[in-house]
Structure 1
Amino acid sequence: MDLGIAGNTALITASSSGLGKASAMALAREGVNVVINGRDAAKLEAARNEIEAEAQGEVLAHPADLTDAEALEGLVDATLDTFGRLDHLVTSAGGPPSGAFLDTDDADWYEAYDLLVMSVVRLVRQCAPHLKADGGGTIVTITSRSVKEAIDALVLSNSVRMSVIGLEKTLSKELAPEVRANAVLPGAHETARIRELIEQAMERGDYDSHEEGLADWGAGNPLQRIGDPMELGHTVAFLSSPLSGYINGAAIPIDGGSGASNL
Structure 2
Amino acid sequence: MDLKLDGNAALVTASSSGLGKASAKALAREGADVLVNGRDPERLEEAVNEIGSVASGEVVGHAADVTEKAEVEGLVARAVEEFDRLDHLVTSAGGPAPYRPLEADDGEWYDTYDLLVMSVVRAVRAAAPHLRADGGGTIVNVTSRTVKEASPSNVLSSSVRMGVIGLEKTLSKELAPAVRANAVLPGSHETPRIEDLIEYAVDRGEIESYEAGLEERAEDVPLGRLGDPMELGNLVAYLSSPLSGYVNGQAVTIDGGSGSSTL
TM-based fold match above 0.5: yes
Distance (Å, rounded) in 2 between the aligned partners of 1:205 and 1:105: 31
Deviations 1:181-209 (A, max 9, x none): 00000000000011111101111222222
1:46 aligns with 2:32: no
Percentage of matched positions with identical amino acids? 66
Distance (Å, rounded) in 1 between the aligned partners of 2:44 and 2:158: 28
More displaced 10-residue stretch of structure 1: 210-219 or 163-172: 210-219
Which residue in the other structure is 2:130 paired with?
130
Distance (Å, rounded) in 1 between the aligned partners of 2:146 and 2:25: 25
Which residue in the other structure is 1:68 paired with?
68
The 5-angstrom pairing of residues 129-148 of structure 1 reads 129-148=129-148
Deviations 1:212-257 (A, max 9, x none): 1111111111101110000000000000001000100000000001
Q: With structure 2 as the length reference, what TM-score do the two structures score?
A: 0.99
State the shift of 1:140 in Å: 0.2
State the shift of 1:133 in Å: 0.6
In the alignment, residue 218 of structure 2 is paired with which amino acid? G
Deviations 1:41-91 (A, max 9, x none): 100000001111111110010000011001111111111111110000000
Which residue in the other structure is 1:13 paired with?
13
Distance (Å, rounded) in 1 between the aligned partners of 2:146 and 2:219: 19
Which residue in the other structure is 1:85 paired with?
85
Deviations 1:11-49 (A, max 9, x none): 000000000000000000011000010111100000001
More displaced 10-residue stretch of structure 1: 43-52 or 101-110: 101-110
Distance (Å, rounded) in 1 between the aligned partners of 2:208 and 2:22: 28
SS of residue matched to 2:252 = strand
Distance (Å, rounded) in 1 between the aligned partners of 2:137 and 2:81: 18
Which residue in the other structure is 1:261 paired with?
261
Distance (Å, rounded) in 2 between the aligned partners of 1:94 and 1:139: 18
Which residue in the other structure is 1:173 paired with?
173
Distance (Å, rounded) in 2 between the aligned partners of 1:192 and 1:143: 17
1:220 aligns with 2:220: yes
Question: 2:101·2:152 contact (CA, 8 Å) conserved in 1?
Answer: no
Distance (Å, rounded) in 2 between the aligned partners of 1:33 and 1:237: 12
What is the CA RMSD across the aligned residues, in angstroms? 0.7
In the alignment, residue 24 of structure 2 is paired with which amino acid? A
Distance (Å, rounded) in 2 between the aligned partners of 1:101 and 1:108: 12
In the alignment, residue 252 of structure 2 is paired with which amino acid? I
State the shift of 1:132 in Å: 0.7
State the shift of 1:101 in Å: 2.5
In the alignment, residue 152 of structure 1 is paired with which amino acid? P
Which residue in the other structure is 2:25 paired with?
25
In the alignment, residue 124 of structure 2 is paired with which amino acid? V
State the shift of 1:153 in Å: 1.6
SS of residue matched to 2:35 = strand
In the alignment, residue 177 of structure 1 is paired with which amino acid? P
Distance (Å, rounded) in 2 between the aligned partners of 1:104 and 1:209: 31
* Gaps in structure 2 of 5+ consecutive residues: none
Distance (Å, rounded) in 1 between the aligned partners of 2:59 and 2:10: 10
State the shift of 1:152 in Å: 2.1
In the alignment, residue 90 of structure 1 is paired with which amino acid? V
Q: How many residues align?
A: 263
Task: Point out 4+ residue stretches in structure 1 off by more than 3 angstroms.
Answer: none
